[in-house]
Amino acid sequence: MNNVYSVGQINNYIRRMFQQDILLSRVYVRGEVSNLKYHTSGHIYFSLKDETGTLSCVMFAGNRKGLSFSMKNGDKVICAGNFDVYTRGGNYQMYVKAIRLEGAGLLYERFLKLKAELLEMGMFDEAYKKPVPKYARRVGIVTAPTGAAIRDIQNIGRRRNPYVQLILYPAQVQGEGAAETIVRGIEMLDKAGVDVIIVGRGGGSIEDLWAFNEEIVARAIFNCSTPVISAVGHETDTTIADFVADLRAPTPSAAAELAIFDYSEFADTITRYRRRLGQGTERRIIKARGDVRYYEVRLLALSPKNRLRDRRRQLADKEERMTNILKRRIDENRMRADAISRRMSLMAERSLKQRQKKYSMLVERMRGLNPLDRLKAGFSFVSDGEGRAVTRISEVESGQILNIHVTDGIIKAGVREICGRENLEEVYGSGEERTDN
């Protein structure tokens, strides 16, 4: 008996055989879930069975992300993983990395069928969509109390508007009975009186999101008198709830942004209106003030007082102008009169002088004519006995007595001889004539 091996040696030998097998290192197995145990460590133990037998399976906690739905006994699933030997139990088992419901394809068919039915019923009609209020003060939320969705909504609420009351209905969003809790949440929040309800959950597989494709959920949303915003999964996920909701948000965060108004924006709006109202009134007052001033000026111009003043001013102007004209005339006349009087006095003066001159000349001449004066110079005046001046020889005759007037008396003389001018030379001799007076 040379070939005797220990248990460990054999188990390890078999284990190596499993490990070296290419097929068993990555394999898909179809079966029905049984003996399902969710261990507190996070590991999941279960068996896959079919009509021929069973297969032990384990999904370690580290691989839990490969399970995106709540698996339960009886589920028909496809597991992906590898086989290995558990040496302590001496048995082999499947180490499962991912599990899918085998009916996933069927689910999609069901989804399409229900969608077509509800569409036919008109449940997606725009006419039934209620407007989502812009300024909701109470926002209801139907989602899981744990998970990213509610945290995201809460954060956005804190950031945008901490004064909005958020009310969560803690629902079960996947697995058995999820649809029923969602329906109850919608109904209770509707009754509690909120302005808008967000219904949703974070991302997941079609199985995870399935509750939102259930007809009862669609009907609850449709019958809800409060506007409903659907927010299921990621942007690419579309559920029946999205079609029937009053508003579809691509994600829970987006739904929060739509449902919760930004308080600072709201405050700004109020401030802006206050300012505009103030400016509008002020502008109107300024315009009114301008109007008042305009009419004031116009009225004042038309007032009797002003008219009187204007008239008075016009009158004063005219008066002044007339006075000026009169003054000018007076001045002109005075000047003219002055000129005339000056000229007249000048003329008078001139004529007086002339007269004086003339007079003195006359006096001179008269003086020259004074016979007595002549007598002074040796000339004498001869008159006949009757006082007649003797100027010609013919006026006398020889022997006649003539009166010779001299300066101091009369000489009576007798005419001895009468000679004509032609004989004068005989008397005086030749020489100058001194006959002129």
Partner 1 sequence: MAVEKKELTIEESFAKLDEMVKKMDSEDISLEESFRLYEEGMKLLLAVGGKIDAVEKKMQALMPDGEEVPFE
Q: Where are the beta strands (DSSP E) in 226-317?
A: 228-232, 247-248
Least Å from the CB of residue 232 to partner 1: 20
- Residue 359 parent element (H or E): helix 304-369
Least Å from the CB of residue 257 to partner 1: 17
Quote the tokens at residue 300: 């004042």
Task: Report how far residue 388's alpha carbon sits from residue 400's, in angstroms, rounded to the nearest whole number.
Answer: 13
Least Å from the CB of residue 112 to partner 1: 32
* Site residue total, partner 1 (CB under 8 A): 38
For partner 1, give the closer residue by CB, 278 or 371. 278
For partner 1, give the closer residue by CB, 131 or 409. 131
Least Å from the CB of residue 320 to partner 1: 46
Decide: is 263 part of the binding site for partner 1 (CB under 8 A). yes
Quote the tokens at residue 283: 């502008």
Running DSSP on this structure, what letter comes out for residue 389? B
For partner 1, give the closer residue by CB, 147 or 280. 280
Least Å from the CB of residue 192 to partner 1: 6
Backbone region of residue 233 per phi and psi (left: phi > 0; alpha: psi in -120 to 50; beta: other values) = left
Decide: is 188 part of the binding site for partner 1 (CB under 8 A). yes
Least Å from the CB of residue 307 to partner 1: 30
Least Å from the CB of residue 262 to partner 1: 12
User: 31, 81, 157, 233: which one contacts partner 1 (CB under 8 A)?
Assistant: 157
Least Å from the CB of residue 119 to partner 1: 31
Least Å from the CB of residue 140 to partner 1: 8
Task: Report how far residue 251's alpha carbon sits from residue 120's, in angstroms, rounded to the nearest whole number.
Answer: 27
Site for partner 1 in 161-180 (CB under 8 A): 162-170
User: How would you label 106-137 residue by residue, b for 16+ Cβ within 10 Å and e otherwise?
Assistant: ebeeebeebbeebeeeebbeeeeeeebeeebe
Query: Residue 228 burial by CB count (10 A; 0-12/13-18/19+): exposed, middle or buried?
Result: buried
User: 26, 30, 276, 293: which one contacts partner 1 (CB under 8 A)?
Assistant: 276
User: 38, 95, 266, 379: which one contacts partner 1 (CB under 8 A)?
Assistant: 266
Q: Where are the beta strands (DSSP E) in 87-192?
A: 91-101, 138-143, 165-170
For partner 1, give the closer residue by CB, 163 or 428. 163
For partner 1, give the closer residue by CB, 138 or 374. 138
Decide: is 154 part of the binding site for partner 1 (CB under 8 A). yes
For partner 1, give the closer residue by CB, 292 or 372. 292
Decide: is 270 part of the binding site for partner 1 (CB under 8 A). yes
Decide: is 252 part of the binding site for partner 1 (CB under 8 A). no
Instruction: Find out whether 283 and 237 touch, Cβ atoms under 8 Å.
Output: no
Best CA proximity match to 99, nearest among 199, 186, 205, 16:
205
Beta strands 91-101 and 76-86: pairing type?
antiparallel
For partner 1, give the closer residue by CB, 291 or 320. 291
Residues 6+ apart with CB under 8 A from 175: 69, 70, 72
In 68-103, alpha helices (H): none
Query: Residue 92 burial by CB count (10 A; 0-12/13-18/19+): exposed, middle or buried?
Result: middle
Beta bridge partners of 313: none
User: 42, 90, 280, 368: which one contacts partner 1 (CB under 8 A)?
Assistant: 280
Task: Provide the terminal-to-terminal Cα distance of the chain, rounded to the nearest Å.
Answer: 227
Least Å from the CB of residue 167 to partner 1: 5
For partner 1, give the closer residue by CB, 92 or 263. 263
Site for partner 1 in 283-302 (CB under 8 A): 283-285, 288
User: 269, 341, 407, 423: which one contacts partner 1 (CB under 8 A)?
Assistant: 269
Task: Report how far residue 308's alpha carbon sits from residue 276's, in angstroms, rounded to the nearest whole number.
Answer: 47
For partner 1, give the closer residue by CB, 73 or 271. 271
157-165, 303-311, 330-338, 412-420 -> range binding partner 1 (CB under 8 A): 157-165
Quote the tokens at residue 38: 């969710």
Best CA proximity match to 235, nearest among 257, 251, 215:
251
Task: Report how far residue 94's alpha carbon sits from residue 25's, in angstroms, rounded to the nearest whole number.
Answer: 10
Decide: is 99 part of the binding site for partner 1 (CB under 8 A). no
Site for partner 1 in 123-142 (CB under 8 A): 133-135, 137, 140
For partner 1, give the closer residue by CB, 117 or 176. 176
- Residues engaged in binding partner 1 (CB under 8 A): 133-135, 137, 140, 145, 154, 157, 162-170, 181, 184-185, 188-189, 192, 263, 266, 269-270, 273-274, 276-278, 280-281, 283-285, 288
